[in-house]
Amino acid sequence: MEKKVVVAVVCVAAVAGGAAAAMVIRQKMKKDSKWAKAMEIVKELEEKCATPIPKLRQVADAMVVEMHAGLASEGGSKLKMLISYVDNLPSGDENGYYYALDLGGTNFRVMRVHLGGREGGLLNQEFSEVPIPSDLMTGTSDELFDYIAAELVKFISQESEEFHPPPGRKRELGFTFSFPVTQTSISSGNLVRWTKGFSIDDAVGQDVVAKLTSSMERKGVDMHVSALVNDTVGTLAGGKYFNRDVVAAVILGTGTNAAYVERAQAIPKWHGALPPSGEMVINMEWGNFRSSHLPLTEYDLALDSESLNPGEQIFEKIISGMYLGEIVRRVLLRMAEEAAFFGDVVPPKLRLPFILRTPDTSAMHHDTSSDLKVVGNKLKDILEISNTSLKTRKVVVEVCNIFATRGARLAAAGILGILKKMGKDTVKEGDQQKTVIAMDGGLYEHYGEYSKCMENTLNEMLGQEVSNNIDIIHSNDGSGIGAALLAASHSQYL
């Protein structure tokens, strides 16, 4: 009898142990299948975001075709190819005090520069950076420009006597306005549409200089807008002031754009007298470029359809700083939903659009610690996802890398397009002059993996001989200084 009891107990224990083991195996299989699903999502992403050199060459060629079409007629291309009315870039002879107002993202900057002519160069600069309350980005134009004018009042009210203009003269301002504008002169232009999260309907189609001037008059600001400048044109002007070989500028920041020096004769839609210099700076508005060769994913298409401007700024939405973090979030959300990537419950914060910003994905991408501590902290602090495994954190870095690499390589293809259009993608016999591109923007400046990948890709496409002749320089805050320089070179008192 006792033997039977012992045997029964052993059997029950064996069954229980077997059930527990089976449960562990089932959980492991479930876990493995979820991991396999997550890896499947990443692999599919990698394939769709692939940018082999032949595809990048197709993108560059498509960019050239669109550039020609945009120069030929208004509305002839997705690329606006806007005439900037800047036919003379700074010469280096400019002197005196000039001001710049740089509006192009979630902050704006007010600046004063002191120019010392050919001998002195840029003697001094002072600036103030001001955040824009989010409600003003979607309010009325009067509210936005009155807020800016009030900050101009604050800036000049703190100046000492030496900065005051002589009697009968006004302070002169270069206004960098980093949104698509159809310029009607060097100091006037109508807003085509807002980008970068702004949406102020009553300003569209209006002259933004007239709007700013009205607000300055209301606030008692004694200032004259001498030049209306796109940030990329400003960066080009600032770059040219310090380096005579600069021929193009590219901004890679919250948004993205490019400008370059075109031969006036190569602009069929230009109907005025040809400028004496024979040249004209063109503001490409390349963020609006699109082509069937762009490697778009379902995440890009969803982001676009849910944006304030569906169907517009497609190039910007896949290469610029405003969107990279958000695309990463969308992939992580799908992995959380379909592969329980962060556990059985989808982290609620992961559902919030734009909660993951590009500076966050950049920090994760650059994490060199052995346990990817930065990645772990970012997931915990921003998305409230704690206790992630090293394996999970590595995959998060891989997703960041896929999108940064795609964006950087496409930006390089865009630059190659500009060089091709200018005939600078080959080395001409006896041509010793360098071709210099001025770069600016937070994405370029702070996301090292992105900018390094972009430059390496451009060199790879150009080949050794040509790339030796091309320099990319960082034109720090070029757009602000450039606007002040253009106010100086287009001063009403010259």
Tokens of 257: 């754009």
Instruction: State the catalytic residue, choosing from 102, 231, 360, 425.
Output: 231
Closest C-alpha among 256, 259, 269 to residue 410: 256
231 is catalytic: yes
Check: CB of residue 113 under 8 Å from CB of residue 484: yes
357 is catalytic: no
- Distance, in Å, from the CA atom of 411 to the CA atom of 451, rounded to the nearest integer, reads 9
307 is catalytic: no
- Distance, in Å, from the CA atom of 47 to the CA atom of 245, rounded to the nearest integer, reads 39
Tokens of 251: 């901004």
Instruction: State the catalytic residue, choosing from 141, 178, 226, 307.
Output: 178
Closest C-alpha among 287, 471, 334 to residue 44: 334
- Distance, in Å, from the CA atom of 75 to the CA atom of 71, rounded to the nearest integer, reads 9
Check: CB of residue 331 under 8 Å from CB of residue 297: no
Check: CB of residue 484 under 8 Å from CB of residue 226: no
Sign of CA dihedral 421, 423, 426, 431: negative
C-alpha distances in angstroms, 369 versus 332, 376, 390? 22, 11, 11
Instruction: State the catalytic residue, choosing from 109, 112, 171, 193.
Output: 193
Write the DSSP string, 416-479: HHHHHHTT-SSPPTT----EEEEEESHHHHH-HHHHHHHHHHHHHHH-HHHHTTEEEEE-TTHH
Catalytically active residues, by annotation: 178, 193, 231
